[in-house]
């Protein structure tokens, strides 16, 4: 079927909309709306950026879509007959309605619930773009290439330095040739930069290298080593915390940072029974909670965790106590663990604590490990960070895919 996109769905999908083999359809009303959004003083910077990026995509891919011009003589009577309020949404729906009267192979795609309900009531084939469908940003693009495409890419690097695959700054490119990832680059703002082989080493964790030459771990390590803030996503057992702690302790032992600050939101695991009140000081309570179990499992024993705390090299702070805390001058690595259990406001509060002389690492799984409904969906802090920070020159994001903890853990992902 031919896909007819409205304005909001195109803004959400961006380059994904251009992946369809058949030409899609848009109204010139959408083009007018995009131009208006780009310069609107009433729109926030995120939506204006989306509009500018979409305008560039439309310009570069004119062969992939057809435009239907809005004819007032033809479509205004439809709006009146259907009893719709005259506005741009109604104009697009009226255009779709008229087209479906002539051909039955049109699928209207929208991410506006009101447009969906109207189209559905008019018996238009319509698809509502769910929130999880709108944004699948992983921090990288994996592109399958043949001999010619690979040669063209390397030639582009030598001569043009064009952003051929339209990456954000610090977004990674994985080139897949013959079903194997053969090369890795990132867009460094003005050129593609080849990813070197990284390794971290510390007395606490030994030598850390990408497991089984895992390309996703390799680019994650590159982001940790080169960005002030890195967000690592992925399922349990994919290496998020191992890479993070390996890097932080490597810095700590070399004297490049003075301490590690851990922000944690001690939320009980979803579906579990709460054990009630824990006695002791704040630190003792934290060490008896999930963050304590987490640190002990990574560092080997409780005594080691307590020694690091006593020496001032490790600070544990629950999210309930971070307001007013300032890491400026600490020369620290701030680690926000289980970051999927933060909403937008908590995440904002946490990141506002980060001083200029500090780095920050967030890790979590915002898709599968959210433990309270208030942290899910659009309200999730990790998702919001991704949308706001992607493309900034000091930010990197990588989604890890492979589980290495055990065969049992790997299979459990399917439960």
How far is residue 275's CA from residue 321's CA, in Å, rounded to a whole number? 21
Q: Do 7 and 99 belong together in one domain?
A: yes
The pLDDT of residue 154 = 92
pLDDT of residue 277: 47
Return the pLDDT at 164.
84
Do 126 and 189 have their domain in common?
Answer: no
Quick: pLDDT tens for 163-208.
Answer: 888 899 999 999 999 989 999 999 999 999 999 988 999 988 889 9
Q: Which residues sit opposite 363 in a β-bridge?
A: 232
Residues 126 and 218 in one domain: no
The Cα 334–Cα 244 span in angstroms is: 11
pLDDT band at 214 (very low <50, low <70, confident <90, very high): very high
pLDDT given at position 222: 97
Same domain, 74 and 142: no
Contacts of 185 (CB under 8 A, 6+ apart): 172, 173, 175, 192, 193, 194, 195
Residue 131 has pLDDT above 60, yes or no: no
Structure confidence at residue 314 (pLDDT): 92
- Bigger pLDDT: 241 vs 367: 241
- Strand order from edge to edge, sheet including 65-68: 65-68, 24-27, 2-5, 106-110, 126-128
pLDDT tens, residue by residue, 256-281: 999 999 998 765 444 434 444 445 56
Pair (272, 348) in one structural domain? yes
Mean pLDDT of the chain: 86
Q: Average pLDDT of 6-31? A: 90
Domain shared by 189 and 291, yes or no: no
Residues 398 and 256 grouped into a single domain? yes
Q: How many domains does the chain have?
A: 3
> How sure is the predictor about 409, in pLDDT bands with cuts at 50, 70 and 90?
low
- Are residues 299 and 180 located together in one domain of the fold? no
Instruction: Categorize the per-residue pLDDT at 339 as very low, low, confident or very high, splitting at 50, 70 and 90.
Output: confident
Residues 256 and 382 both lie in one domain? yes
Write down the pLDDT at residue 274: 45
- CA separation for the pair 199, 211 (Å, rounded): 11
Run of H or E including 25: strand 24-27
**What domain range is 179 assigned to?**
137-195
> Which one has a higher pLDDT value, 167 or 1?
167
């Amino acid at each position: 079927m031919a896909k007819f996109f409205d304005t909001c769905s195109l803004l959400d999908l961006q380059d994904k909309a251009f992946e369809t083999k058949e030409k899609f359809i848009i109204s010139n009303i959408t083009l007018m709306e995009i131009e208006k959004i780009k310069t609107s003083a009433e729109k926030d910077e995120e939506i204006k950026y989306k509009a500018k990026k979409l305008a560039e995509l439309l310009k570069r891919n004119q062969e992939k879509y057809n435009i239907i011009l809005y004819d007032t003589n033809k479509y205004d009577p439809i709006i009146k007959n259907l009893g719709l309020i005259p506005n741009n949404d109604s104009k697009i729906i009226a255009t779709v309605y008229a087209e479906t009267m002539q051909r039955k192979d049109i699928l209207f795609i929208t991410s506006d619930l009101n447009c969906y309900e109207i189209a559905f009531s008019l018996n238009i084939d319509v698809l509502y773009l769910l929130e999880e469908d709108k944004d699948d940003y992983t921090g990288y693009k994996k592109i399958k290439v043949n001999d010619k495409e690979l040669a063209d890419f390397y030639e582009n690097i030598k001569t043009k330095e064009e952003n051929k695959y339209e990456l954000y700054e610090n977004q990674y490119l994985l080139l897949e040739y013959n079903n194997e990832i053969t090369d890795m680059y990132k867009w460094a703002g003005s050129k593609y930069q080849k990813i070197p082989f990284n390794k971290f080493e510390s007395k606490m964790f030994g030598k850390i290298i990408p497991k089984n030459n895992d390309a996703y771990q390799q680019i994650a390590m590159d982001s940790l080593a080169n960005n002030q803030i890195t967000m690592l996503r992925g399922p349990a057992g994919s290496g998020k915390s191992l890479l993070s702690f390996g890097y932080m302790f490597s810095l700590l032992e070399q004297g490049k940072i003075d301490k590690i600050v851990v922000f944690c939101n001690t939320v009980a695991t979803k579906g579990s029974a709460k054990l009630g009140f824990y006695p002791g000081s704040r630190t003792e309570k934290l060490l008896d909670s999930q963050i304590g179990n987490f640190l002990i499992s990574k560092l080997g024993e409780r005594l080691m965790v307590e020694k690091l705390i006593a020496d001032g090299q490790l600070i544990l702070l629950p999210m309930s106590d971070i307001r007013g805390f300032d890491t400026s001058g600490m020369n620290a690595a701030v680690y926000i663990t289980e970051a999927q259990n933060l909403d937008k406001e908590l995440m904002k509060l946490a990141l506002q604590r980060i001083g200029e002389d500090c780095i920050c690492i967030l890790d979590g799984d915002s898709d599968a490990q959210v433990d309270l409904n208030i942290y899910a969906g659009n309200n999730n802090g990790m998702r919001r960070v991704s949308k706001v920070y992607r493309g900034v020159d000091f930010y990197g994001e990588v989604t890890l895919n492979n589980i290495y903890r055990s065969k049992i853990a790997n299979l459990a992902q399917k439960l």
